[in-house]
Amino acid sequence: MKSGNRILFRLGAIAVIIAIAVCMAVIGRGHTIYFDSKSGEYNGQAYTAPYKTEVYVKDERVAKLYDGERGMASTMGQTFHYSLEITPEKGGDSYTKDVTFKVPYNLDGVVINIAAMEAGLPEEAYISEFVPVPSAAELEDEEVVTDEFAGLTEGDEAEAG
């Protein structure tokens, strides 16, 4: 193989690998979707949570929510399909709704308020970013042990003593 061809071949191989890496980063991006069933108010317009909402992802129920409750589901990629089975009133009839949601790439967690969505409010009213609060365990200082020679030197003895 000529050296020019060889360089081209190598560059091509690197480009293909980078393309695969980019594809993996896009299709493999994981998100956590939180479903809220909470009554509230947006720009003076009040909305009420339905009595019961069941959330299905790929025909599997991931959440059964009553007023004020939250459920969650994990998804991969930027398109999230889910179904809602909503019962507005206790003992009343329920209806089903299929929803497709484009998840913003940069968000790890997205909160969807089903009550606000059902009230016909704009997207910014019912979609918000989930900002995790580090747990007490996560905030606790963690000792990292990497020293192969721990306890073998004079300094360690002094520290221990």
SS3 state at 148: coil
Which is nearer to other proteins, 32 or 94 (by Cβ)?
Answer: 32
- State the residue for tokens 């007023």: 67
- What H or E segment, with its residue span, contains residue 55? strand 52-57
Contacts with other proteins in 63-92 (CB under 8 A)?
74, 76
What CA–CA distance (Å, rounded) separates 65 from 70? 7
Which is nearer to other proteins, 58 or 97 (by Cβ)?
Answer: 58
Which is nearer to other proteins, 145 or 160 (by Cβ)?
Answer: 145
The CB-of-149 to other proteins minimum distance in angstroms stands at 11
Q: Does 145 bind other proteins (CB under 8 A)?
A: yes
Q: Considering only CA atoms, which of 39, 33, 35 is closest in space to residue 51?
A: 39
10, 19, 23, 28 from 14: Cα distances, Å: 6, 9, 14, 21
Site string for other proteins, 30-49 (x = CB under 8 A): xx------------------
23, 76, 91 from 28: Cα distances, Å: 8, 6, 41
Which is nearer to other proteins, 15 or 89 (by Cβ)?
Answer: 15
Binding site for other proteins (CB under 8 A): 17, 20-21, 23-25, 27-31, 74, 76, 108, 132, 134, 138-142, 144-146, 148
